Amino acid sequence: MKKFVRIERVGQTFDTRKGAFVALRDIDLTVEQGEFITLIGHSGCGKSTLLNLIAGLTRPTSGVLLCAEREITGPGPDRAVVFQNHSLLPWLTCFQNVHLAVERVFGATEKRAQLAERTRAALDLVGLLPAQNKLPREISGGMKQRVGIARSLALRPKVVLFDEPT
C-alpha cells in the first residue's frame, strides 16, 4: 500500500479570552491508499479539528499535512467532507444541492449533460434518485444526510472525511 495522507507533527492552537487553547499537539498519522480509519475520542478532543485540517478548511499552527505527496494548503476536489449537520441549502432541491457542488468543481471541464448525469448517479448511489426534486424540508433527517454524502461522492474525491454525520 502507498502512503496517501500524512500528518507530521501537527499542532493546532486557538486564541481564547482565557489565553491559548491547545486543541492538537504533535499529531503524527499516516493513512494508506484504500485504508478506512476512524478517529474515536470524547467530545472536544480535537477530532473535528483534525478533519478540518485534512480538508484544508483551516491551517495548522505547526506541522505539515500531505495528501498524495502534496501539501494541504486549502480545500481541494481530492478531499470531500460530510459534515455533522447536512449543510443543505433549504431553497434548493436534492438534485440542485448536489449539482451545485458538481458544477463548481467540474463546470469548466464537463458539459451540462455530463454534470447532470454525475449528479443523478451520486443520488442513485445513495438511493435518493426518486427524491431528487424534493426540497430539504420534504425529506427526513437521514435522507438529508444522504444528500450530503451524495454531494461528496459526486466529486469523486480521493479522500472522504465524515465528521460524525447523523
Q: Domain boundary residue among 21, 39, 71?
A: 71
Secondary structure element (H or E) that encloses residue 64, with its range: strand 62-67
Structurally, the chain folds into a number of domains equal to 2
Alpha-carbon distance 145 to 57, whole Å?
20
Are both 52 and 104 inside the same structural domain?
no
Q: What is the CATH number of the domain that holds 58?
A: 3.40.50.300
| Same-domain status, 100 and 137 | yes
Residue 131 CA to its chain's centroid (Å)? 22
Q: What is the pLDDT of residues 81-95, one digit of tens each?
A: 888 787 899 999 999
Domain that holds residue 41: 3-71
Residue 166 has a pLDDT of 60
Beta strand 19-32 pairing with 3-16: antiparallel
Query: What does the pLDDT look like over 8-54, one tens digit per residue?
Result: 999 999 999 999 999 999 999 999 999 999 999 998 899 999 999 99
Domain termination site, one of 71, 88, 123: 71
Instruction: Assess whether 83 and 156 both reside in one domain.
Output: yes
- Does the pTM of the predicted model rise above 0.75? yes
Which of 15, 38, 71 delimits the end of a domain? 71
Q: Which residue has the cell 482565557?
A: 18
Mean pLDDT rounded to a whole number for the chain? 94
Q: Are residues 113 and 44 in the same domain?
A: no
84 and 144 both lie in a single domain: yes
92, 144: one domain: yes
- For residues 155 and 91, membership in a common domain is answered with yes
One domain for residues 52 and 93: no
> What is the distance between the terminal CA atoms of the chain, rounded to a whole angstrom?
31
Q: What Rg do the C-alpha atoms of the chain give, in angstroms?
A: 17
Neighbour order of strands in the sheet with 70-71: 19-32, 3-16, 62-67, 70-71
Q: Quick one: 16 and 48 in the same domain?
A: yes
